[in-house]
Amino acid sequence: MSKPLSDHDKRKQISVRGLAGVENVTDLKTNFNRHLHFTLVKDRNVATRRDYYFALANTVRDHLVGRWIRTQQHYYEKDPKRVYYLSLEFYMGRTLQNTMVNLALENACDEAVYQLGLDMEELEDIEEDAGLGNGGLGRLAACFLDSMASLGLAAYGYGIRYEFGIFNQKIVNGWQVEEADDWLRYGNPWEKARPEYMRPVHFYGRTEHHPDGVKWVDTQVVLALPYDTPVPGYRNNVVNTMRLWSAKAPCEFNLKDFNVGGYIQAVLDRNLAENISRVLYPNDNFFEGKELRLKQEYFVVAATLQDIIRRFKVSKFGSREIARTDFNKLPEKAWDITVRTCAYTNHTVLPEALERWPIDLFQNLLPRHLEIIYEINRRHLERVASLFPGDTDRMRRMSLIEEGGIKRVNMAHLCIVGAHAVNGVARIHSDILKATVFKDFYEMDPHKFQNKTNGITPRRWLVMCNPGLAEVIAERIGEDFIRDLDQLKKLLKFVNDEAFIRDVAKVKQENKLKFATHLEEHYKVKINPNSMFDIQVKRIHEYKRQLLNCLHIITFYNRIKKEPNKQWSPRTIMIGGKAAPGYHTAKMIIRLITAIGEVVNNDPVVGDRLKVIFLENYRVTLAEKAVPAADLSEQISTAGTEASGTGNMKFMLNGALTIGTMDGANVEMAEEAGEDNIFIFGMRVEDVEAMDKKGYNASEYYNRIPELKQAIDQIAGGFFSPKQPDLFKDIVNLLMHHDRFKVFADYEDYIKCQEKVSALYKKPKEWVKKVIYNIAGSGKFSSDRTISQYAREIWGVEPSLEKIAAPDDPK
């Protein structure tokens, strides 16, 4: 028998990684050595692995620069309508491999690095994740940037260059411990500072009202310094820009008025201004009304708006005489321009996540803006009154200013009034917005409300993270699906094809073995690679119901203990995700998961039929390893709480089956894959609403369902925490008496549904057929489709799959 192929040789055979031409490889080696030499000449004789990584990153970056300059030049000349995507989060992960994929350089770089005696995967592992996001919303922005570039849109991502991104999570004695994410420690080869576009941003001060208008005076100034990161499209030579702002104190900061001897302190106080871009707030789906956060929000908006208007003025359209000289009519047109320019995407219906800023905070930080908001509100309520005469309660509900207790600015209401389009991020979510949260606004302006179901980029989430699967697909239907994911429907022809079934199963097994090896290195637990990999990875939150998953684990454990000789379907259950540092309940949920793991994993009766692993420090890079290895994807939020979800789509595309509620995009996934090919359980939105009316009584379920009672009694009685029997009393109390998310109400149906999952897993061929239906149905969930809909239905631009000329082509 021939010896098994090395990882390098295996990678060479994957055509979707691009061709490795000889000249190409030679050039890459030359440039790599040039960059390496430059690094070493500066300070050292011996190259470290990090030196090699930087040499490779800079070599790949060289291939971006020409395309980047040419793309921006192309926009300047053609002057298309620009798209600006503003977000406080861009959760980009690593850049090196994604750039090689999109530039078709992967095999050439791999070969060059190999010929230099280095290992590509080892070098890729040196790169830090750009963790400038919390979860779904920040990762969505990153997928959208990839799709906007791949669809040839003149689009720019604007955000904040946080010095510290989402914290690194360590598990110490079963508890989450946070450490700062110093991701820029060794420098970032992918960014370029652009001090020539620095902009001032004003805070505090006061307003003066004069006959000729209003002045905002005595402000404190902070400078916004932009850093640009290239965003390459997929093999179309387009390179767009993500521009992230960093806060800088002006030279004269605090120095005009320092007293004798205060010079040193004045210079040290520059930190206060520069703290604006210091750290990402680590809350997911939760509003914490802190002044620094409002500063961050205004900082990115004020800097970005100045930059947009600067670019508009220098563009060909902007330089026409009228736009340049005649600003007289601007005031009466400003609001109309604002509304026609802006669109608002809502990402959650959880009331605790919606921003409601206290008036006095706003007044202090942005006094002029508050006056303008009052005026916007006056005109808005005038319109409400004319459309619904005498309906004062509606006026109160729809006001931008909430009275009672502390007065607050309702930011979602301001967004709706100031936008020409408002959208949710999955059909069910958009329907809920119109029916409940924004019902009054929908009745007044139904034309504003749309749906844009979220998507994920198939470049990172299939080609890059799962090249084996991408290849077996490409062998059947060609490579065009990578830019047009709907073509995956062609796989339906192969649902009964023995060879295809075998290939899909083989790729999954290889991915599981690779992930198992990774886990055994990190967790020192032996993993049964033939067990079902049952994975729930997402931020830890009560609404996502990791506790429901825990109750299934305990129930399954108790059943194995009760009948140890039965043929159980073996499982490795993995749960991962970060808890916001101030969210006590979420931290306790992590402690419960680790405690269950300690008991289950050390019980000899259970053996390798059940293992429970908490995946530490879940982030983009860990998702890229876990998603291709999953058999079962857990999407079990209470119906009506998860706006869309996007992890659900990644698992579907990568050959896992889903167990989930009829929530978020799960509804549309069931529609696309076929209801028979996804495990749906639990209450629907209507059932949850009915239960809210009637009242949810947890103890009714506890008393009626013996296995549920047993599990809760074990948690409460210290079975999982023998050294501290009351460790989980808060969690039990929550589940029994204040559970907004009705975990017990879905328990019975969840357990039954999990039994169906186990039964199917014992029939591998039937399982894989359902997997194929899922992959074939996942085309809708490409962010290319999402972005095409935003482009045509909201932004008024037309996407294109045309290539632009490469830098080495003549123009």
Query: Which residues are registered as beta bridge partners of 279?
Result: 164
Catalytic residue at 508?
no
User: Which is the catalytic residue, given 646, 658, 661, 786?
Assistant: 646
Angstrom CA distances, 410 to 287, 314, 402, 403, stand at: 12, 36, 7, 10
Cβ-contact 683, 742 below 8 angstroms:
yes
Cross-strand bridge partners of residue 770: none
DSSP for 128-170 reads PPEEE--SHHHHHHHHHHHHHHHTT--EEEEEE--SB-SPEEE
Spatial CB neighbours of 145, under 8 Å, sequence gap ≥ 6: 85, 90, 155, 157, 231, 240, 242
The span from the CA of 43 to the CA of 33, in Å, is 16
The 10 Å Cβ neighbour count of residue 48 is 12
Give the integer Cα–Cα distance in Å for 222 and 254.
Answer: 11
How many DSSP H helices and E strands does the chain contain? Answer: 33, 24
User: Which amino acid, 119?
Assistant: D
Residue of 687, 696, 694, 635 lying closest to 666 (CA atoms): 635
Distance in angstroms (rounded) separating the CA atoms of residues 342 and 83: 10
Asked if 516 contacts 806 with a C-beta cutoff of 8 angstroms, the reply is no
User: Of 293, 347, 369, 476, which one is the catalytic site residue?
Assistant: 347
Residue count of the chain, please give it. 811
Amino acid letter, residue 415: C
In the annotation, is 539 catalytic? yes
Strands 610-615, 571-576: pairing is parallel
CA pair distance 627, 648, nearest whole angstrom: 10
Is 347 assigned a catalytic role? Answer: yes
Pick the catalytic residue from 11, 611, 650, 742. 650
Is 680 strand, coil or helix? Answer: strand
Beta bridge partners of 607: none
Q: Are strands 130-132 and 155-160 parallel, antiparallel or unpaired?
A: unpaired
Residue in this structure with the two tokens 């996001």, named with its chain if needed:
133
Nearest alpha-carbon partner for 702 in 666, 736, 651: 736
**Active-site choice (70, 544, 571, 770):** 544
Residue matched to tokens 């023998």? 722
The one catalytic residue in 538, 552, 591, 770 is 538
Q: Of the listed 539, 552, 609, 611, which one is catalytic?
A: 539
> Which positions are catalytic?
347, 538-539, 544, 646, 650
